[in-house]
Amino acid sequence: MENGGEATKWRFGAANPALEAAGRQSIRSIVSGLFDSLDKSDPRPVAPLGHGDPSAFACFRTAPAAEDAIATAALSGKHNCYSRAAGVEEARSAVAAHLSRELPYDVTAGDVVITAGCNHAIEIMMAVLAAPGANVLLPRPGYPLYESRAALCGLEFRHFDLLPDKAWEVDLDGVEALADENTVAMVIVNPNNPCGCVYSYHHLAKIAETARKLGILVISDEVYDHCAFGSKPFVPMGVFGEIAPVVTMGGISKRWMVPGWRLGWIVATDPCGVLREKKVIQSVIDYRAISVDPVTFVQGALPQIIANTDKAFFENAMDVMRKTAEICYQKLMDIECITCPHKPDGSMFVMVKLDLSSLDGIHDDVDFCSKLAREESVVICPGIGLGMKDWLRITFAVDPSLLEDGLERVKSFCKRHGKTKEVN
């Protein structure tokens, strides 16, 4: 039968267009493409300022209590089994208690669905909302996994702006202009990736009022919950759950610095029970039943992870983050072709504008980032991947001296590529 007379005509291989559309947005592909253009012969350490993952740095190591909790759960033999679709009961209860501490009402275990990270929560919510003809409103700049997963399930998305001149607040007039009778939800990310801002109580209240006026739910992506180190405190959107139904998404990836553990949640923070009536949580559980499960022993460890991690761990982590955000901001101010409209006070990122007119031979943000990677072994994320061409997203959740070194290299790159000043 081996390669007989005619070659076999294989019928598979045509692309899934939805998957192609979805893949185009992938931040992971953009950043890994940049890693691939690094000069391997450069002896300097790579400064990975393009994606948010501080777990590799000793100064951001997770709490020993969290690691111990995982080890205990893994060795117990009690969590090697499949878990239920909504998640391990103790994990659901632990998340409910954890969130309730900051809300004016109680969230119960029944309101919680455990997911394999907050990325998984995004996947699920886009699928649940993908009714024929529906649309969702997404922030720009944003986190492109929303667009990818919406594209994959045929859910239309429209963008509203975050306003750089107003500390990246949501353009609420823009939201109202964009929405129509098929709009089902708007997404906010607070503390914000990519902008590094933290929304005020007041602004969140206005977002809730707008959502109520439009009859839509708010998906509040709080994966960076409590990652606020400036003057503004973190306020959970669920505080306004009576005004408009809020789906709160979160996880342990950022606060505990363990994105590789893949543990997140979707929670109905909705004291009026509208999400329950509309069967949103039930649909979430139905999707989870045919989707990936989070690792059972990580779920099993969650109550101890939450209970046994000292406040001191979080305080220290925020101290380091505050320091690195300051280093980042100061060094950026030193670079002429870069403008930072808002000093970061939360999450792990800052968005900065590139002034191409002061650079020679660099035609856009993608070109800037490719050349920077190759010439200086510094990886930065081009803003076009997030909806803002000629902007850059920089992470400061990096070991302070490596961050300083990396930004110094960016500065010399910009000098080297600067347009020569004309002498009149």
Partner 1 sequence: MHDRHGRTHTESKYSLARSAPHLALMENGGEAAKWRFGAANPALEAAGRHNIRSLVHDLYDCLDRTDSRSVVPLGHGDPSVFACFRTAAAAEEAVVATALSGKHNNYARAAGVEEARSAVAEYLSRDLPYEVTADDVVITAGCNHAIEVMMAVLAAPGANVLLPRPGFPMYESRAALCGLEFRHFDLLPDKGWEVDLHGVEAVADESTVAMVIVNPNNPCGCVYSYDHLAKIAETARKLGILVISDEVYDHCVFGSKPFVPMGVFGAIAPVVTMGGISKRWMVPGWRLGWIAATDPNGILRDKKIIESAIGYRAISVDPATFIQGALPQIIANTEQTFFENAMNVLREAAEICYQKLKEIECVTCPHKPEGSMFVMVKLDLSCLDGIHDDVDFCSKVASEESVLICPGSGLGMKDWLRITFAVDPPLLEDGLERVKSFCKRHGKPRR
| Stretch 258-277 residues interacting with partner 1 (CB under 8 A) | 258-262, 271-274, 277
3-state secondary structure of 11: coil
The strand order across the sheet containing 338-339 reads: 47-49, 378-382, 391-395, 349-354, 338-339
**Options 191, 238, 294, 346; binder of partner 1; rule CB under 8 A:** 294
304: contact with partner 1 by CB under 8 A: no
Rounded to the nearest whole angstrom, what is the least distance from the CB of residue 319 to partner 1 in the complex? 20
**Options 116, 249, 305, 369; binder of partner 1; rule CB under 8 A:** 116
Nearer to partner 1, 111 or 365 (CB): 111
DSSP character at residue 346: B
The stretch near partner 1 (CB under 8 A) out of 6-14, 167-175, 325-333, 389-397 is 6-14
Nearer to partner 1, 167 or 258 (CB): 258
Beta-bridge partners for 189: 221
Q: What residues between 332 and 361 interact with partner 1 by CB under 8 A?
A: none
Cis peptide before 194 (omega within 30 of 0): yes
82: contact with partner 1 by CB under 8 A: yes
Nearer to partner 1, 28 or 343 (CB): 28
Cis peptide before 43 (omega within 30 of 0): no
The stretch near partner 1 (CB under 8 A) out of 79-87, 375-383, 396-404, 416-424 is 79-87
Q: What residues between 14 and 43 interact with partner 1 by CB under 8 A?
A: 14-20, 22-23, 25-26, 28-29, 32
The stretch near partner 1 (CB under 8 A) out of 207-215, 319-327, 354-362, 409-417 is 207-215
| Cα–Cα nearest to 339, from 329, 325, 326 | 329
257: contact with partner 1 by CB under 8 A: yes
298: contact with partner 1 by CB under 8 A: yes
**Options 140, 158, 159, 212; binder of partner 1; rule CB under 8 A:** 212
CA distance 25 to 256: 27
Rounded to the nearest whole angstrom, what is the least distance from the CB of residue 58 to partner 1 in the complex? 8
1: contact with partner 1 by CB under 8 A: yes
Q: What residues between 120 and 179 interact with partner 1 by CB under 8 A?
A: 120, 123, 127-132, 134, 145, 148-149, 152-153
By the 8 A CB rule, do 306 and 94 touch?
Answer: yes
CA distance 156 to 150: 7
10: contact with partner 1 by CB under 8 A: yes
Query: Token pair for residue 18?
Result: 């939805």
Rounded to the nearest whole angstrom, what is the least distance from the CB of residue 295 to partner 1 in the complex? 5
Q: How far, CA to CA in Å, does 277 sit from each of 34, 81, 274, 281, 289?
A: 46, 32, 5, 9, 20
Rounded to the nearest whole angstrom, what is the least distance from the CB of residue 326 to partner 1 in the complex? 24
Beta-carbon count within 10 A of 321 CB: 22
Nearer to partner 1, 33 or 230 (CB): 33
389: contact with partner 1 by CB under 8 A: no
221: contact with partner 1 by CB under 8 A: no
Nearer to partner 1, 182 or 412 (CB): 182
112: contact with partner 1 by CB under 8 A: no
Q: How far, CA to CA in Å, does 303 sit from each of 31, 249, 267, 423?
A: 34, 18, 16, 67
Q: What residues between 43 and 62 interact with partner 1 by CB under 8 A?
A: 51, 53, 55-56, 61-62
**Options 89, 90, 171, 242; binder of partner 1; rule CB under 8 A:** 242
Task: Kindly give the pairing relationship between strand 112-115 and strand 264-269.
Answer: antiparallel
**Options 236, 245, 303, 382; binder of partner 1; rule CB under 8 A:** 245
Nearer to partner 1, 205 or 384 (CB): 205
CA distance 363 to 365: 7
Chain mean position to CA 293: 20
Rounded to the nearest whole angstrom, what is the least distance from the CB of residue 70 to partner 1 in the complex? 5
The stretch near partner 1 (CB under 8 A) out of 287-295, 357-365, 368-376, 400-408 is 287-295
**Options 34, 91, 99, 103; binder of partner 1; rule CB under 8 A:** 103
CA distance 166 to 157: 24
Query: Token pair for residue 189?
Result: 């990310």
**Amino acid code (one letter) for 163:** L
CA distance 284 to 271: 18
Query: Token pair for residue 96?
Result: 């409910």
**Phi, psi (rounded to 5 degrees) for 318:** -70, -35
Beta-bridge partners for 140: 161
CA distance 147 to 418: 35
DSSP character at residue 199: -
**Options 43, 290, 311, 420; binder of partner 1; rule CB under 8 A:** 290
